[in-house]
Structure 1
Amino acid sequence: MEEAKKIFVRADLPAVKDDRKALVTNGLEAGIVSYILRDEDPEFRKLGKMEDAVMTKDGRSVDPAWEIARIDSPEDQEKVLALAGSKKGVIVETGDWSVIPLENMIARFRGSGTKIYAVAKTKEDAELYLKTMENGTDGIVIDTSDPAEIGRFRDLVGTPAPVELSEVTVEDVKPIEMGDRVCVDTCSLMHPGEGMLIGSYSNCLFLVQSESEDNGYVATRPFRVNAGAVHEYCMVPGEGTRYLSEISAGDPVLIVGRSGNARVGSVGRCKVEVRPLLIVSASDGSRTYNVILQNAETIKLVTPEGAVPVTELKKGDRVLAHVETGGRHFGMKVEETITEK
């Protein structure tokens, strides 16, 4: 699974402590959990749970696993390139990125075990660093004196790329034996047309709608996707998949809408219960795929125009799915011939 890119806030530079604190509080409110802090400000770590807190003294990291490097010359570049494989992370700042081809940095550090983060003063610079050589840097470090600017950077790594959806044609719907199915309750409210991508095969994931529509019998649960049998795959951030049986509270999942627009949600809880199941088989014209869901009218597959309860699906109906070539190995996409049936 592709590892998510990371945003740091550089909160060690302002001379005034209250200004440094404002950068941290605004960053936490924007959902950013990684920071560069002065070693004289350890109490800032109590303002919110942090994933990374790189402490500095006189602008340099006090943790030998991290390096903060300034590049102003080719000689500086060579020193930084030599750090690949010897550090957990290297944070690179420079006054002029034309001094150092960013491509060289990304190529040298890729696969070395050392993450490379570029300091960005503007959102436009950050976008460039994250896209250079397709994969870009492992993340960015926000360098701003204005706490209000931090929120502008958040969506750079917080919003996943759209997912390509296509129509598949239902070939058969039939009840099967009872089985263990998973309800995924997220910490997000979803709208009609939004849900999760679920499937028995990793190369075809059906868009299963959240319980966001009132059917007159039970109250809506717009935070919930009745996702299907425990063996099935669901798409997660980074274009990876996980088995539904593995998902638990705190895990990230991908919430996808009818248009393919995606966002990341956090799981609040998962419920595994024995329920009657049915199997929906559908074809893209060349192959047939299936998804196994609870046999109940509250579970719906998304169509180009709306959503249809699985209990009302019939042969010839068209539903939305994400279809891809290749397969998965430990949740990561691989280009190889894999037969699933």
Structure 2
Amino acid sequence: MSGKKEVWIKADEGAWEVDKKPRITTALESGVDCVLVEESDVEKVRELGKIRVAAFGDSPHADVIVVGRKGEGDGTIELPEDLSASKDLDTLRELSKEKYTTASFVIIKNKDYERLAAELAKASDYLIVIGTDWKVIPLENLIAELQDYDCRIIAGVKDAKEAKLALETLEHGADGILLDADDPSEVKKVMSVVEEVGRERLPLLAAKVINVKQLGMGDRVCVDTCSMMKLGEGMLIGSAADAFFLVHAETEESPYVASRPFRVNAGAVHAYVLVGEKTRYLAELQSGDDVMVVDRDGGTKNAIVGRVKIEKRPLILIEAEVGKRRLNTILQNAETIKLVAPDGTPISVADIKVGDEVLVHLEESGRHFGMKIEETIIEK
């Protein structure tokens, strides 16, 4: 169980126009990962927009086939004493043979249903668990028991408060939530909770600038994203794959140019940008790629590249050190290009001088084709 936290919307009850369609429309507008619907509504969802669809029944047109409703999972069929004889379990195994992506659906009424959920999960890609009078303990038990299995736990919730609790249970939390709510504002609150909970934090250190050198002309990369960044945010850029400077987004007005808060004027074409667990060369980025935005506290979030511009510009070398470790980056030599001081203040490269401190991120591992490896690599 790992990876991005998922948000599903429950839209399987009521009339299509009055109840289901509004929920699905809100899901599409909010960037939700998946909607849970009746088998008969799968094609209607497809007509509304592009989103993953999970459906009760056995529709081959659904992205995820959900087993358990009107079965043992919701108590319609009595549980067998021997859970290995479960009819829902047999159905899941048959679907798996046909290579379908499956989910088991269980309403946790008591300890027996918790046991059923654990057994069904071991034959499923997803486990959807709905609580009755419980909040944490059964979910904690399932997370602990299934940690070595390749099944993602989706916890049923009614609001953002319950979503936060589910996603933070036992540190790892559920892998996602199934939201049962009509209010569009609640969906947006839940999306904010998921973004905050899923934000990895990277350690940032203060590095002392030891050299500032104007260079000649070179090709630099300007990364325009599909997100608006704010004061203190930017991207981690560096000439070595284990040492990065926090290069600030163009969030501030200047006498020469308007602010471009979606933009990071990132550096020379050879430089690395840290993207999650990997690095990419700036010159490789293109429209539609994912990049990582980092704030002054090391908090991270994803952004989508909208456009990359590579242009010849005058360059400047910034060298810094942390203890005995040295690092450098090459940026465009312009007053709008900024690094970040330890207090979060942007510092223009036109004003940086020896002795100033800027925020950096250091790693211990080297990298091969952008992936971390335990190997000694020297980059100068």
TM-score category of the 2 structures, normalised to the smaller one: 0.7 to 0.9
Which residue is equivalent to 2:304? Answer: 266
**Equivalent position to 1:279, from 317, 326, 329:** 317
The Cα shift of 1:228 comes to 1.5
Higher mean Cα deviation, 117-126 or 77-86?
A: 77-86
Match status 1:61 vs 2:66:
yes
Taking every aligned residue pair, what percent have the same amino acid on both sides? 43
| Bigger Cα displacement from structure 2, 308-317 vs 177-186 | 177-186
The offset of 1:197, in angstroms, is 1.9
Residue type at the aligned position of 1:277: L
Question: Is the counterpart of residue 154 in structure 1 residue 191 in structure 2?
Answer: yes
1:130 aligned to 2:167? yes
Separation of aligned partners in 2, 1:78 and 1:87: 15
For 1:56-75, what per-residue CA distance to the aligned partner results, in whole angstroms no more than 9, with x for missing partners?
Answer: 249x7278422232133444
- The 5-angstrom pairing of residues 109-148 of structure 1 reads 109-110=146-147, 112-148=149-185
Which residue of structure 1 lines up, in the alignment, with residue 226 of structure 2?
A: 187
- Structure 2 counterpart of 1:101, from 129, 138, 159: 138
User: Following the alignment from structure 1 to structure 2, what is the Cα–Cα distance between the partners of residues 230 and 105?
Assistant: 47
Q: Which has the larger Rg?
A: 2
Contact 1:209–1:300, Cα closer than 8 Å, also in 2: yes
- Between the aligned partners of 1:257 and 1:181, the Cα distance in structure 2 is 22
| 1:34 aligned partner | 34
Distance verdict in 2 for CA 1:84–1:98, change over 3 Å = same
In structure 1, the residue corresponding to 2:165 is in which secondary structure? Answer: helix
In structure 1, the gaps of 5 or more residues are none
Does 2:45 match 1:48?
A: no
1:74–1:99 CA contact under 8 A, matched in 2: no
Q: Distance in 2 between matches of 1:232 and 1:104?
A: 45
Task: Report SS of the residue matched to 1:116.
Answer: strand
The offset of 1:142, in angstroms, is 0.8
User: CA–CA distance in 2 between the matches of 1:230 and 1:88?
Assistant: 41
- Residue 53 of structure 1 deviates from its aligned partner by 0.9
Match among 302, 309, 324 for residue 340 of structure 2: 302
C-alpha separation in 2, matches of 1:199 and 1:5: 29
The equivalent of 1:252 in structure 2 is 290
Secondary structure of the structure 1 residue equivalent to 2:31: coil
| Equivalent residues of 1:182, 1:228 under 8 A apart | yes
Q: How many residues align?
A: 336
CA–CA distance in 1 between the matches of 2:210 and 2:299? Answer: 27
Conserved in 2, the CA contact under 8 Å of 1:199 and 1:290? yes
Q: How many Å separate the matches in 1 of 2:307 and 2:335?
A: 22
Q: How far 1:118 moved relative to its partner? A: 1.4
SS of match in other structure, 2:40: coil
Deviations 1:90-134 (A, max 9, x none): 222232447963344224444533322111223233222212232
Offset of residue 225 of structure 1: 0.7
Distance 1:101 1:227 in 2: 47
Listed as ranges, the matches of 1:210-249 within 5 Å are 210-236=249-275, 241-249=279-287
Q: Is 1:199–1:232's contact at 8 Å kept on the other side of the alignment?
A: yes
Cα distance, 1:339 vs structure 2: 4.7
Amino acid at match of 1:6: E
Gaps spanning 5+ residues in structure 2: where?
59-64, 68-94
Aligned-partner Cα distance in 1 for 2:315–2:353: 16
Match of 2:248 among 209, 225, 233: 209
Which string of whole-angstrom CA distances, capped at 9 and with x for unpartnered residues, describes residues 229-262 of structure 1?
33433334x5654443443222333333445455
Indicate the RMSD between aligned Cα atoms, in angstroms. Answer: 3.2
TM-score (norm 2): 0.75
Query: Following TM superposition, by how much is the alpha carbon of 1:9 offset from its aligned partner in structure 2, in angstroms?
Result: 0.6
Letter in 2 for 1:282: A
Shift of 1:186: 0.9
Q: 1:138 to 1:201 in 2, by over 3 A?
A: farther
Q: Which deviates further from its counterpart, 148-157 or 193-202? A: 193-202
Check the 8 A contact 2:215/2:316 in 1, yes or no.
Answer: yes
| Alpha-carbon spacing, 1:16–1:214, altered in 2? closer, same or farther (3 Å) | closer
Q: CA deviation at 1:7?
A: 0.6
* Map of 2:361 onto structure 1: 322
Match in the other structure for 1:196: 235
Secondary structure of the structure 2 residue equivalent to 1:158? helix
**Corresponding residue SS for 1:126:** helix
1:203 CA displacement: 4.0
